[in-house]
Amino acid sequence: MQVLAPSSKLVNLATVTLLLLVLQYADVAHAGRQQRSTAPCKEMTVYHHNILYDGTNTANATSAVAAQPTLLSRSVSVNDTYFGEVVVFDDPVTAGPELSSEEVARAQGFFFYDGKVVPNAWFAFSLVFNSTAHRGTLNLMGADPMMEKTRDLSVVGGTGDFFMARGVATLRTDNVQGLYYFRLQMDIKLYDCYDV
C-alpha cells in the first residue's frame, strides 16, 4: 500500500475545500435568483401507523428492531431512552386516523433512538405513493424530539408527482398503545413543486 506524501495530502485537502466553496457559491447564487412563496404549493394530512414486532404479531407487524440498544444505554439509562436502537419499518400511511382508512402510501425507512438522557429519535424514510391520487415518493428526514407536542421533519426531495419537492412535515403523536404501536399525524406542506 502506497502512502501519500504530506504535500499530496495538502493538495487533496485544498482541492476538496475549493470544490465545496464552488458548490456553496453556486447554491447561494441559485437561491438568490429563485422566487420563494410563503404559501405552500401543495398540502396534505396523512396518518403514519407503526406496529412494532413483539415476538408474536408476525402477521400484522410493520416494523422490527434491527439493532438493540447500546451497552451504554443499558448501563446508564434510567429513562428508557433506548439509545442506539435501530428500527426498520414498512408502515401503512392512511388518509384518516383509523388503520382501516384508505391507504394512500407506505412509509419505508428507519429510525434510531439518539437521545441519551431523554427519548429522541432520528428518521429517514420515503413515503411511497401508488394510488389513483398520487404516484411517486416524498423523502423525509430529521430529528424527532419525541417529548415535544409537534416536530418538523424536512421533505428533502421526491419523485413522480412530487418531482424534486421540498418542504416540511409536521408530526404529532396521535396515538400510542404501549411499546408496540404508535400513530403520527403528518401535516405535509410543500414549498417547491414542479409540474412534470
The third-level CATH classification (topology) of the domain covering 38-192 is AOC barrel-like (2.40.480)
Neighbours of 187 (CB within 10 A): 15
pLDDT of residue 160: 95
- Please list, in sequence order, all residues whose beta carbon lies within 8 angstroms of the beta carbon of residue 94, skipping any fewer than 6 positions away: 46, 47, 49, 101, 102, 103, 104
**What is the domain partition of the chain in residue ranges?**
1-34, 38-192
The model's pLDDT over 63-119, given as tens digits with 9 standing for 90+, comes to 998 987 777 666 555 567 788 889 999 999 999 999 999 999 999 999 998 888 888
Q: Map the chain to HEC letters.
A: CCCCCHHHHHHHHHHHHHHHHHHHHHHHHHHHHCCCCCCCCEEEEEEEEEEECCCCCCCCCCEEEEECCCHHHHHHCCCCCCCCCEEEEEEEEECCCCCCCCEEEEEEEEEEECCCCCCCEEEEEEEEEECCCCEEEEEEEEEECCCCCEEEEEEEEECHHHCCCEEEEEEEEEEEECCCEEEEEEEEEEEECCCC
Q: Please, which pLDDT band fits residue 179 given cuts at 50, 70 and 90?
A: confident
CA distances from 196 to 2, 135, 154, 165, 188 (A): 49, 12, 22, 11, 20
Beta carbons of 126 and 155 less than 8 angstroms apart? no
Alpha carbon distance 189, 2 (integer Å) = 51
The residue type of 181 is: Y
pLDDT of residue 51: 94
pLDDT of residue 143: 95
The model's pLDDT over 2-40, given as tens digits with 9 standing for 90+, comes to 555 555 555 565 565 555 555 565 554 455 444 556 899
pLDDT of 125 higher than 70: yes
pLDDT of 124 higher than 70: yes
pLDDT of 132 higher than 90: no
